[in-house]
Structure 1
Amino acid sequence: MALSGRIKINHGDVFAHGAYVVGDVEAVRDFDKSSPGKAVQAVDKESGLLVWSVSVLDADPEARKDMKTVTVKISAPHQPIPPEAMPGVPFRPVEFDGLTVTPYLDDKRNRIAYSFRATGMRAPQTSGKPAPRAQNQEAA
């Protein structure tokens, strides 16, 4: 089958109305390798890079309440830095580079759920040219 594992997708396909960072970027813990008193950060199986997570608000006004906030995991060598907040807005608008989605069965809710991953984050484009990358981001 042509579709297996992570499926590449554009940011606008997932967040057509925009996305906003609503939490801190945090290291993802590798629960298998961690022990009490010694946390080990997860490493992406495909890239070998460290894994970070960030909570994002989906600005789609028709999104279900339980789908308004999603977690995006970012594989990067260093902790990604979210874009700056816009003046007068409490959230930071964001776009993700190298976005992928992996559907899976959520046994607890008996429905299909989605896991989102990215290779980087940046401020949204406001003109015809891409926004500059943050210094801690490498080209995908």
Structure 2
Amino acid sequence: MAIKNKFAVPMGEVFPHGAYVVSEVEPVRDFDKSAPGRPVQQLDKETGLPVWSVSVLDADPDARSKDKTVVIKIAATHQPVPPDTAAGLPFRPVEFDGLTVTPYVQENGGRARVAYSLRATAMRAPGGHGHGSGGRGGKPQGGQDGEAA
């Protein structure tokens, strides 16, 4: 089978109504390697690049309230920079390049459901002419799955 544990999806399939940055871009902590007072940033298993996370608001008016905000992880050499704010909008519109989805089973109080991890190779302003990037001079970075449940 061609699909392993993750698969590529176009931005418009995941966020057909758009997405908006609602948090700072932060390093993802590697809980296995970190110690009290000594945090260690997670490295991407495929590329070895540091992993960053950003929360985004899904603009889909029909999305359930608990699904409105999702976390996208980005593997990049340097901390990705979100796009600039857009005039008249309270949030920064964003698009992601190289978006991948990894489905997994999440157990919650004895009930199981399918959840999804999201990763991207870069973030940018909608329309392809943004200031934000995945890291190295605006060039997309490698990555795999991130968090969205």
Q: TM-score, normalised by structure 2?
A: 0.86
Mapping 1:1-140, distance limit 5 Å = 1-108=1-108, 110-125=112-127, 130-132=128-130, 134=132, 136=135, 137-139=138-140
**1:4 CA drift (Å):** 1.1
The gaps in structure 2 that reach 5 residues or longer are 142-149
What per-residue deviation string (whole Å, max 9, x for no partner) do you get for residues 13-67 of structure 1? 1000000000110000000000011000000001111100000000001111111
SS in 2 for 1:44: coil
Distance in 2 between the 1:55 and 1:104 partners?
Answer: 19
Distance in 2 between the 1:3 and 1:105 partners?
Answer: 17
CA 71–36 in structure 1, closer or farther in 2 if over 3 Å, else same: same
Name the Cα RMSD after superposition: 1.4
Distance in 2 between the 1:67 and 1:102 partners?
Answer: 16
The gaps in structure 1 that reach 5 residues or longer are none
Q: TM-score, normalised by structure 1?
A: 0.91
Identity %: 60
AA aligned opposite 1:138: K
Q: How many pairs does the alignment contain?
A: 136
